[in-house]
Amino acid sequence: MQDLMTVVDWSRWQFALTAVYHWLFVPLTLGLALIVAIMESIYMRTKSTVWLRTTKFWMTLFGINFAIGVATGLILEFEFGTNWSNYSWFVGDIFGAPLAIEGLLAFFMEATFVAVMFFGWKRVSPRFHLVSTWLTCIGASISALWILVANAWMQYPAGMEFDPAQMRNVMVDFGSLFSGIAINKFFHATLSGWVLAAVFVIAVSSWMLFKERNRRFASRSIKVAAWVGLAGIILTSWTGDGSAVEVARHQPMKLAAMEGLYNGHKPQAISAVALLNPNKRWDNNEPEYLFDISIPHGLSILAKHDANAFVPGIADIINGVEINAEGDTINTVSYAQRIAIGKEAQQYLRDYDNARKAADTLAMTQASTSLKETFKYFGYGYLDSVDEAIPPVALTFYAFRVMVIGGGWLLLFFIIVLICIYRNRWMQDSHLMQWICFLTLPIVYLVSQAGWIVAEVGRQPWTVQDLLPRSAAISNISASSVVITFWMFAIIFTILLIAEISIMCRQISRGSKTNFDKV
């Protein structure tokens, strides 16, 4: 068991490492594709060579990021088959279908039109080139859609039935893949890419202003990026609100962890700034926070869109306590009961297996029917205690605050940048403002990664919510083999990141020495 935990832990670290690195490249591709498409559209409208040069410069940086980032996500699929073989079999075509569509349709669409973007300037008509740029942008987003739909299904498995004969979940309703969680996740993640790319463009442009090079080019770029960023952060906040409601509905434990909330109230405040009490457990009477500044009714509004709604805490969820809209306390299924039902479901699966070996069709049908009735809590059968069902509260809690507080700063940042760039010459002349723009670049990456930490750490211990915990999803492989490949990936991805940064910096430096402002 100890070795199994090590394998699970190393496999999780490996998956986290590759996902984090992959997500360094993806949002910049998503957002920069849009910014380049907008710039090329302006060029088509104005026919100004200044805009053509602006478009080509950012398109080159898009190309560098695309080339270095492409296929980094494939590693995650390799890991499914080796480290998480039970999981990859269990999810069946539910997970396979979106990934296959992503590979066949979206990626090829994206790759085809990327070629036209870079090779087609003198070989296709300007209009066709513009269409290709937009299709690259749309293709990248569609590509993200399928990945995020697959991820959302893991958070809220719907539209499938478990078949004990195949030992897989079989898709019965394709439309259910597009749940509220999936739609919000798609827009939230994609729009956050707009925000990240906008900050990237503003930071690079600010460097040119700092160096007093290509000032008109930099100002033009900042204007486009700041508008994209402002639209992006407003829409990201909106979809974040939608995500919170969906999480409250389908993953209340994750919401409770995001808030470090153990005992819910009606109405429930939200802690704006707080320090968690490390000694707090779900079954003791320690205070939740050592220090906190709360906003009354905040979490009720955020999670339920009702200022007086009850929001359950970790202890409430474990004990199966809920308060309905009328204020009556109602009992839901406690975690102890879920574990018992899960173990019962496992017994039905064993019964099915024995009946199958004995070729007893009637017993197979009976076991299958009983399994279907208890399958909702199948995964809880792998837990030995309710404590195992609680995600890491501190990491989820602080990552959520980094995301929200950072997001708040980004909203303010884009407003300030727009005021500075339009109303006076602060942006062009103020080194302080330019420094703020540089420093916001690491912040936006941190915020972007924090969002994924909330989404993925907050849903632990599940690989598929309520159905398959990570301890059951793992393969029987040695920890040492995972350790070796972990460090191998760490080295490969670090080299790729260094290559990205150095090639980008060289290209930006070279670009800054070119006179983009000549008419």
Partner 1 sequence: MSIINNIWRLYFDGFREMSSLGRKLWILILIKLFIFFFIIKLFFFPNLLERDYDTDEERAQAVRTHLSVPDSPQPFNLDN
353 binds partner 1 (CB under 8 A): yes
Q: How far is the CB of 68 from partner 1 (least distance, A)?
A: 7
Q: Which is nearer to partner 1, 349 or 427 (CB)?
A: 349
- CA–CA separation, 360 and 364 (whole Å): 6
**x/- contact string, 184-223, with partner 1 (CB under 8 A)?**
----------------------------------------
86 binds partner 1 (CB under 8 A): yes
120 binds partner 1 (CB under 8 A): yes
Cis peptide leading into residue 461 (ω within 30°):
yes
- CA–CA separation, 270 and 291 (whole Å): 13
DSSP string covering 177-218: GS-HHHHHHHHHHHHHHHHHHHHHHHHHHHHHHHTT-SHHHH
311 binds partner 1 (CB under 8 A): no
The residue within the footprint of partner 1, chosen from 41, 60, 176, 370 (CB under 8 A), is 60
Q: How far is the CB of 291 from partner 1 (least distance, A)?
A: 42
82 binds partner 1 (CB under 8 A): yes
The residue within the footprint of partner 1, chosen from 68, 258, 314, 457 (CB under 8 A), is 68
Cα separation values, 124 from 50, 115, 127, 302, Å: 20, 11, 8, 50
> Binding residues for partner 1, how many (CB under 8 A)?
52
User: Around Cβ 443, how many Cβ atoms within 10 Å?
Assistant: 16
Contact yes or no for 114/36 (Cβ under 8 A):
no
Beta strands 321-323 and 168-171 are unpaired
The residue within the footprint of partner 1, chosen from 42, 124, 158, 234 (CB under 8 A), is 124
DSSP string covering 233-267: HHHHHHHHHHHHHHHHHH-HHHHHHHHT-SS--SS
Taking CB under 8 A as the binding criterion, the range among 70-78, 271-279, 388-396, 436-444 that sits at the site for partner 1 is: 70-78
Within 150-179, which residues bind partner 1 (CB under 8 A)?
164-168
Phi, psi of 278 (to 5 degrees): -65, -20
Q: What's the token pair of residue 304?
A: 């339920």
Cα separation values, 120 from 113, 127, 134, 135, 288, Å: 9, 11, 14, 14, 60
Phi, psi of 337 (to 5 degrees): -65, -40
Taking CB under 8 A as the binding criterion, the range among 58-66, 306-314, 397-405, 415-423 that sits at the site for partner 1 is: 58-66
Taking CB under 8 A as the binding criterion, the range among 78-86, 205-213, 326-334, 440-448 that sits at the site for partner 1 is: 78-86
478 binds partner 1 (CB under 8 A): yes
Q: In the block, which residue shows the tokens 């479901």?
A: 345
123 binds partner 1 (CB under 8 A): yes
341 binds partner 1 (CB under 8 A): no
- CA–CA separation, 60 and 53 (whole Å): 11
Half-sphere exposure of 479 (CA within 13 A, CB side): 12
The residue within the footprint of partner 1, chosen from 104, 296, 350, 498 (CB under 8 A), is 350
The residue within the footprint of partner 1, chosen from 97, 109, 492, 508 (CB under 8 A), is 492
Q: Which is nearer to partner 1, 378 or 414 (CB)?
A: 378
Cα separation values, 132 from 30, 111, 140, 147, 179, Å: 15, 11, 12, 23, 30
70 binds partner 1 (CB under 8 A): yes
H or E segment and range at residue 30: helix 2-46
Within 96-115, which residues bind partner 1 (CB under 8 A)?
115
Contact yes or no for 461/253 (Cβ under 8 A):
no
119 binds partner 1 (CB under 8 A): yes
Q: How far is the CB of 498 from partner 1 (least distance, A)?
A: 12
513 binds partner 1 (CB under 8 A): no
Within 446-475, which residues bind partner 1 (CB under 8 A)?
471-472, 475
Half-sphere exposure of 274 (CA within 13 A, CB side): 25
Q: Which is nearer to partner 1, 234 or 503 (CB)?
A: 503
Taking CB under 8 A as the binding criterion, the range among 43-51, 69-77, 195-203, 431-439 that sits at the site for partner 1 is: 69-77
74 binds partner 1 (CB under 8 A): yes
Which residues of the chain form contacts with partner 1 (CB under 8 A)?
60, 63-64, 67-68, 70-71, 74-75, 78-79, 81-82, 85-86, 88-90, 115-116, 118-120, 123-124, 164-168, 346, 349-350, 352-353, 381-382, 471-472, 475-478, 481, 484-485, 488, 492, 496, 499, 503, 507
